[in-house]
Chains A and B, each alone.
Chain A
Amino acid sequence: MSKRLSNGSSFLSQYIRTKTKAFCSVQSLDNVIDPNQISKVFDPGYSSILHMSLKNTWGSFSALPNSSFWGPQNQHSLYIHRNGWIWAREFGSQAAMEPCTSDGLTVDGIASSKWTILEESESDWKSHAAAIAQSIQVIKRRLQWKKLLVRLDLLSAELNKPDLWNDPVHAGKISREHGSLIGKMKEVKAFEQELLEHIDMIKLAREENDTDLESESMKALLRMRRDSKDKELEALLAGEQDSCSCYIEVQAGAGGTESMDWAAMVMQMYQTWAQRHGYRVTVVDEMPGEIAGIKRATIKVEGEYAFGYAKAEVGVHRLVRISPFDSGKRRHTSFAAVAVIPILGDGSSRVQINESDLRIERFRSGGAGGQHANTTESAVRIVHIPTGVTATCQNERSQHQNKASAMAVLQSRLDQLEMARQAQMNSQHTQSLTEISWGNQIRTYVLHPYRMVKDLRTNYEVSDPDSVLEGDLDNFILSYLSASLDKGEDEPTTCDSVCSCGNMS
């Protein structure tokens, strides 16, 4: 039985191979049906003839909700309707072939052409296309596209082996993995294809002076742009803790009031950033400076993906300006350190805290206390004796609540410490397990003599520090997250700095 089955399937594989070969010889026919191949096969002249002939039928298509004739939906239904598994097979072997527009433009080509990306509201197809291409590249990096291709070839080769089905368990595994890879890649491929087709359409519409078609395609491109931004974000925020809420901590560097003022500015920047994202922000702990600013502060940022974004901010932020606190009006450089701690969900394994390992003390005491003192100050500090990790909260209105908040902070710090410890044991994050050091600068904000904010990790920079300090951080965050995909590390280096900040209070 199994013998016959394997014969049967090897016949199938045989058929596939023949079919693939045949595919080459009947290209023109296949390509009429399969838009995937269009650009590679037709010379530009022929392609525009085809477009023109299609254009005649456009009227009937444009009435459809998804008016893109070349859209992925149509394409798949056509193809899968014809022969689902053959599509998959061909996809594997053709994956290396780059789809392109009628004049040879590829998605990578668009991305590397450095077209200026304008606001969404600007109706410029190059800008839309560049934004989409950029998102696609991020998505591909997240998927580790090149490795996927290699793996897919390997699996395809395996599937082609005549004796594959001798071991049905193995064969099942191979074909399942193959299927899932195809699934992952299919979506991206279709997306790329759609982009190129819209571009073709716009060019064609311009040649033909068809303003309806042009605006229709422009709209489609804009929809894609928004869609691709969402997909890009999903790809960027796929880390294990990314969806968690988090604490953001800021500590002033050396330099007295000027530094403390800078720390307060940084904290304000995150508060506005978080509020703009619709996150709930609460100040947990705040040590004000004597004259201005803060020595350190902790805020709790609650909402989906708060940690995923905020982790990009870990490190030292440097400010250069004429200090308002210097009567000599000299230029000062100040530093503020930022740490981010994820708040793990109930589902995750959290460190068990032993009540007897804790020392709880009133943060600011003095005097006889009790009935002698009427104070709304009910801050507590909790010390975890074995690790020396501390947590303080004074912004709640009762001691009980301050204690509960401080316990929550302590829990997250210990969780983070444990994660870092495990990461070290798995010898993955060894490099990142350095303490946050004031040399570890990630971004510079210059207010004088010129105006600029520059991220030292990505070289992303803007010339408007005010908007950044008002919380306009997303581009910095996204460019860092996307750059950190290239490092091949799923987790940016967050554990280290947080651990050290656990001790900073």
Chain B
Amino acid sequence: MLKLRLPGLSRGVCANFRIPNPCCYSNSVSSSIDVKPKVPLYLRPPSFSASLSELSMWHKWAKNLASSVGSTFVNLDNGPDSTLLHRELNWLLQDLIELQHHSEILPRLESSNNENLDVRVALRAPLEEIYCVWRQRIEERRPFQYVVGCEHWRDLVLSVQEGVLIPRPETEMIIELVEDVALNNSPELAQGFWADLGTGSGAIAIAAARALRSHVNGDAGCRVIATDLSPVAVAVATSNVQRYGLQDVVEVRKGSWFEPLKDVKGELSGVLSNPPYIPSDDISGLQAEVGRHEPTLALDGGASGINDLLQLIDGVASMLKPGGFFAFETNGGKQCKFLVDYIQNEKPGRFRDINIVSDFAGIQRFVMGFRL
């Protein structure tokens, strides 16, 4: 649990918290099986308020705090710089204030206009809490996506919380591989079972389901099974699936890799995954946002980082139906080459069109292919 270690400016503010856990959407991972997913900030009711001057004061403070970072974090561990933090601050404000008031309120915070400073602004969280979470963002390096409880990924806004890996921009490309490679070459793959293994927030499963659906003009025959070992991930993914109204298309199952998929063995049209792939030794040196806050379960891929990927390759050889497609995210060129060699040497004649695909940063990121 968080301690109130908030010196200086916010002491007075945080002193009158009414609830035991003031930063209530920031508490640590629950160990209970029945996890209740948290509502992201932008979906909460605007049942709090602050005057424009109070909000301005907070904004000024938050901006200064962000500016004080400079490029310290960049030099430290390739973390965010002030520019990025300022941008995040704007997004936090956007999530905090109702959309219809953005155009009148947001410009006012930047201007020196002193009119109507006592006007009340409806907020989705109490201002004290916002002081608190912004401090966490900067001082504890709590990922911004956990702070606002959501991540914008492709055209989706997914709920995320501690215990669930925040989907990365690179991973968006897996959906493009599904659309441009798999469905373009074999449109019939749109029907049948797909699997997203280690789904986390459910990002890949949900986006893939939407891509498949648009290919067959409706739900007919599209099925995605999302699996994850973590109960938090299962809960969060389930709630995200529901928010996008895909409960009839995407099924979330708890379990490790292919273990919950025995009923569809040899029938899968596609298997997608962003498994843990960071070598164990690298975990301690990770960027603070990742290493200190994101679940190790979703990151640590064993000694060389490739344990889970190898397990996945072994699995798809038998789980995919002939002609089925797979695409996995990897740690980079070294793992990609290793996997391609592994497929060619250990699984001769089982796959065709094995390819390595680079992300937008030019790093070889994905391995994909079709089962023969």
Contact = CB atoms under 8 A, between A and B. Distances in A.
A371 interface: yes
A389 to B, nearest CB: 18
B253 interface: no
A125 to B, nearest CB: 34
Interface residues of B, number: 50
A471 B83 CA distance: 25
A37 interface: no
Contacts of B294: 374
Interface stretch (A89-97, A163-171, A189-197, A396-404): A396-404
A376 B91 contact: yes
Interface stretch (A153-161, A172-180, A358-366, A484-492): A358-366
Interface string B277-299: 11000100011011001100011
B144 interface: yes
A437 to B, nearest CB: 30
Given A376-B87, A376-B91, A378-B169, A370 B145 contact: no
A395 interface: yes
Contact of A361 (B170, B278, B362): B362
Contacts, number: 111
Nearest to B112: A470
A271 B103 CA distance: 11
Interface residues of A, number: 33
A399 B290 contact: no
Contact of B144 (A366, A369, A371, A376): A376
Nearest to A359: B360
A368 interface: yes
Contacts of A280: 103
Interface string A400-424: 1100000000000000000000000
A355 B340 CA distance: 28
Given A361-B360, A362-B361, A399 B172 contact: yes
Contacts of A394: 87
B162 interface: no
Given A375-B84, A400-B172, A361 B361 contact: yes
Given A271-B107, A396-B152, A401-B155, A374 B289 contact: yes
B363 A368 contact: yes
B143 A366 contact: no
Contacts of A288: 83
B290 A370 contact: no
B196 interface: no
B286 A272 contact: no
Contacts of A377: 80, 84
Interface in B71-112: 78, 80, 83-84, 87-88, 91, 103, 107, 110-111
Interface in B162-206: 165-166, 168-172
Contacts of B286: 372
28 contacts: A271-B107, A288-B83, A362-B169, A365-B360, A365-B362, A367-B78, A369-B361, A369-B365, A370-B171, A370-B363, A371-B277, A371-B278, A371-B290, A371-B299, A373-B290, A374-B143, A374-B168, A374-B287, A376-B80, A376-B91, A376-B144, A376-B145, A394-B87, A397-B152, A399-B154, A399-B169, A399-B360, A400-B172
Question: Which 3 A/B pairs are nearest by Cβ-Cβ distance?
Answer: A397-B152, A365-B361, A399-B169
Interface of A: 268, 271-272, 275, 280-281, 288, 360-362, 365-378, 380, 394-401
Interface of B: 78, 80, 83-84, 87-88, 91, 103, 107, 110-111, 143-145, 151-156, 165-166, 168-172, 274, 276-278, 282, 286-287, 289-290, 293-294, 298-299, 329-332, 359-363, 365
Given A366-B78, A397-B91, A401-B155, 18 more contacts: A275-B107, A281-B103, A369-B170, A369-B332, A369-B365, A370-B363, A371-B168, A371-B274, A371-B276, A371-B299, A371-B331, A372-B278, A372-B286, A373-B290, A376-B80, A376-B87, A399-B360, A401-B152
